[in-house]
């Protein structure tokens, strides 16, 4: 009787039962093949000794894909104890189509670019500034097309931005190219009190390494293209260097997002002929913003975790009320964080927020249905006016 009462009082209106699907080897999740464009992933589950790359290739072939047309770019494994006591292994192999430009850029190719002679006799001059605004790569995050996608997209967007710079230069004299790295360049393990760990297959150092090398790539790409080149980075919430039990326990400027740029600045110093005209900026000690003149426009950089969504001008007004803050002089506020493109104006003041670089936030899609529209924003500025703004995207 006591059990019945408990059952009655615990009862709840659950949905009708869906009959279990008949199991079959095909569906029993001993293997899974996913193909999206030029990227394929094969997950193989089984006894530890049986799970290997050959098996993954065989599954590709069973699905009608030519195994010679694909190459493995990485894998990720986990082990568990099976009901019979033996060790099971689940491994996800990632493939890219041979000859496609999918996947992380070939490191030799990157190296060629970085080591090539970037010294030019004369770099373009002019009183216009060209802004490249990007952030929220969150390298390491598993969502959507993962780190491979975010990396490919970031490099692709930087390349396209440099193409657009050359096209704009036919119309306006651009003498200053400035890149704003607007935070959350790594996924890190600080977000959500560390609950993002499982969904973050790269180590912290791997995430930082990618960030540093992407910044290095951007420096090498843009350095020959203007007589003045600058890069600024600000700390995002994901880049916080130390958090304990979900609480930040370090100085505000202690960030992997900015330290990566400091490392690139150190590298640049080794070759003043190629990079002596490139300047680097991160926030001062215990600060979160960088305010910088670009072609007569005072550009303030911040990460948007400092204000509630949509309250960028309220936050800016507050900062500007402080006589000691350079924010009262800012013409343009640029910020990452909210993962979607937004531009806004209030009188002469302008706000620009580039989208993220990830293809989607899976959590967001489940909650709201939509994926991302990743990319970066380029803009042309002079004398406080930033009237040309363009979204740059690659698939
Ligand atoms: Mn953020």
Instruction: Report CA(203)–ligand 1 centroid distance (Å).
Output: 19
Backbone angles phi, psi at 210, to 5 degrees: -60, -45
Across the range 169-180, mean pLDDT stands at 97
pLDDT at residue number 165: 97
Same domain, 150 and 248: yes
Spatial separation of the C-alpha atoms in residues 393 and 349, rounded to whole Å: 26
Instruction: Report CA(185)–ligand 1 centroid distance (Å).
Output: 9
**Picking from 52-66, 198-212, 375-389, which range would have the lowest pLDDT averaged per residue?**
52-66
Same domain, 82 and 119: no
pLDDT at residue number 248: 79
Same domain, 88 and 136: no
Same domain, 276 and 330: yes
CA 213, distance to chain mean position in Å, is 13
Q: At residue 85, does pLDDT exceed 80?
A: no
Q: At residue 107, does pLDDT exceed 70?
A: no
- pLDDT, one tens digit per residue, over 185-209 is 999 998 888 888 889 989 999 999 9
User: Among 50, 79, 97, where does a domain finish?
Assistant: 97
- pLDDT, one tens digit per residue, over 248-298 is 789 999 999 999 999 999 999 999 999 999 999 999 999 999 999 999 999
Residue 296 inside a domain? The answer is yes
Across the range 146-162, mean pLDDT stands at 95
Crossing angle of helices 256-269 and 204-222, in 10° steps, is: 50
Same domain, 212 and 296: yes
The residue written with tokens 């004369």 in the block is 122
Instruction: Report CA(70)–ligand 1 centroid distance (Å).
Output: 35
Q: What integer best gives the mean pLDDT of the chain?
A: 88
Q: Write the CATH number for 56.
A: 2.60.40
pLDDT band for position 340 (cuts 50, 70, 90): very high
Instruction: Report CA(382)–ligand 1 centroid distance (Å).
Output: 29
Residue 318 inside a domain? The answer is yes
Q: At residue 14, does pLDDT exceed 90?
A: no
Ion ligand 1 nearby residues (CB, 5 A): 184, 236-237, 337
Same domain, 163 and 243: yes
Instruction: Report CA(142)–ligand 1 centroid distance (Å).
Output: 16
Residue 5 inside a domain? The answer is no
Instruction: Report CA(208)–ligand 1 centroid distance (Å).
Output: 16
Residue 126 inside a domain? The answer is yes
Same domain, 40 and 132: no
The answer to whether 284 and 317 have CB atoms below 8 angstroms apart is no
HEC states along the chain?
A: CHHHHHHHHHCCCCCCCCCCCCCCCCCCCCEEEEEECCEEEEEEEEEHHHCCHHHHHHHHHHCCCCHHHEEEEEEEEEEEECCCCCEEEEEEEEEEECCCCCCCCCHHHHHHHHHCCCCCCCCCCCCEEEEEEECCCCECCCCCCHHHHHHHHHHHHHHHHHHHHHHHHCCCCEEEEEEEECCCCECCCCHHHHCCCCCCCCCHHHHHHHHHHHHHHHHHHHHHHCCEEEEEECCCHHHECCEECCEECCCCCCEHHHHHHHHHHHHHHCCHHHHCCEEEECCCCCCCCEEEEECCEEEEEEEHHHCCCCCHHHHHHHHHHCCCCHHHHCCEEEEECCCCCEEEEECCEEEEECCCCCCCCHHHHHHHCCCCCCCEEEEEEECCEEEEEEEECCC
Instruction: Report CA(234)–ligand 1 centroid distance (Å).
Output: 11
Distances from the Cα of 305 to the Cαs of 288, 298, 312, in angstroms?
Answer: 11, 21, 10
Same domain, 361 and 275: yes
Instruction: Report CA(346)–ligand 1 centroid distance (Å).
Output: 24
pLDDT band for position 88 (cuts 50, 70, 90): confident
User: Among 97, 120, 149, where does a domain finish?
Assistant: 97
Count the domains in the chain. 2
Instruction: Report CA(304)–ligand 1 centroid distance (Å).
Output: 7
Instruction: Report CA(338)–ligand 1 centroid distance (Å).
Output: 7
Q: At residue 300, does pLDDT exceed 80?
A: yes
Same domain, 159 and 85: no
Same domain, 197 and 321: yes
User: Among 72, 97, 122, where does a domain finish?
Assistant: 97
Same domain, 84 and 151: no
pLDDT at residue number 34: 82
Instruction: Report CA(240)–ligand 1 centroid distance (Å).
Output: 10
Q: Write the CATH number for 161.
A: 3.60.21.10
The answer to whether 372 and 334 have CB atoms below 8 angstroms apart is no
Residue 365 inside a domain? The answer is yes
pLDDT at residue number 267: 96
Same domain, 359 and 308: yes
User: CB neighbours of 349 closer than 8 A, spacing ≥ 6?
Assistant: 313, 316, 330, 331, 332, 333
Domain with 85, as residue range(s), is: 26-97
Q: At residue 214, does pLDDT exceed 80?
A: yes
- pLDDT, one tens digit per residue, over 359-375 is 999 999 999 999 999 99
Residue 15 inside a domain? The answer is no
pLDDT at residue number 25: 43
Residue 7 inside a domain? The answer is no
Q: At residue 118, does pLDDT exceed 70?
A: no
Q: At residue 26, does pLDDT exceed 90?
A: no
Residue 9 inside a domain? The answer is no
Residue 124 vs residue 247, higher pLDDT: 124
């Amino acid at each position: 009787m006591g059990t019945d009462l408990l059952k009655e009082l615990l009862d709840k209106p659950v949905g009708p039962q869906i009959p279990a699907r008949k199991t079959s080897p095909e569906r029993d999740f001993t293997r899974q093949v996913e193909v999206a464009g030029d990227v394929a992933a094969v997950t193989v589950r089984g006894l530890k000794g049986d799970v290997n790359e050959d098996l993954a290739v065989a599954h590709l072939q069973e699905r009608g894909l030519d195994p010679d047309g694909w190459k493995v770019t990485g894998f990720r494994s986990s082990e568990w104890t099976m009901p019979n006591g033996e060790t099971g292994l689940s491994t996800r192999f990632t493939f890219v189509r041979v000859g496609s430009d999918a996947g992380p850029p070939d490191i030799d190719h990157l190296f060629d670019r970085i080591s090539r002679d970037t010294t030019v006799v004369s770099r373009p001059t002019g009183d216009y500034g060209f802004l490249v605004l990007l952030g929220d790569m969150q390298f390491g995050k598993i969502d959507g097309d993962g780190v491979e996608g975010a990396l490919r997209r970031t490099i692709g967007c930087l390349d396209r931005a440099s193409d657009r710079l050359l096209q704009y230069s036919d119309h306006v004299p651009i003498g200053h190219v400035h890149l704003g790295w607007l935070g959350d360049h790594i996924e890190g393990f600080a977000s959500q009190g560390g609950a993002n760990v499982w969904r973050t297959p790269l180590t912290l150092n791997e995430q930082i390494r990618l960030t540093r090398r992407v910044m290095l790539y951007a420096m090498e790409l843009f350095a020959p293209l203007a007589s003045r080149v600058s890069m600024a980075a600000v700390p995002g919430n994901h880049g916080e260097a130390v958090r304990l039990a979900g609480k930040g326990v370090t100085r505000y400027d202690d960030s992997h997002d900015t330290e990566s740029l400091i490392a690139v600045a150190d590298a640049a110093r080794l070759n003043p002929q190629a990079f002596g005209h490139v300047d680097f900026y991160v926030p001062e000690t215990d600060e979160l913003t960088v305010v910088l003149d670009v072609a007569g426009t005072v550009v303030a950089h911040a990460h948007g975790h400092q204000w509630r969504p949509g309250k960028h001008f309220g936050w800016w007004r507050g900062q500007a009320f402080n006589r000691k803050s350079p924010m009262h002089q800012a013409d343009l506020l640029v910020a990452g964080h909210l993962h979607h493109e937004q531009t806004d104006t209030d009188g002469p003041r302008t706000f620009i927020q580039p989208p993220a670089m990830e293809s989607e936030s899976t959590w967001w899609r489940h909650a709201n249905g939509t994926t991302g529209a990743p990319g970066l924003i380029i803009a042309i500025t002079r004398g406080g006016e930033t009237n040309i703004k363009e979204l740059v995207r690659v698939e």
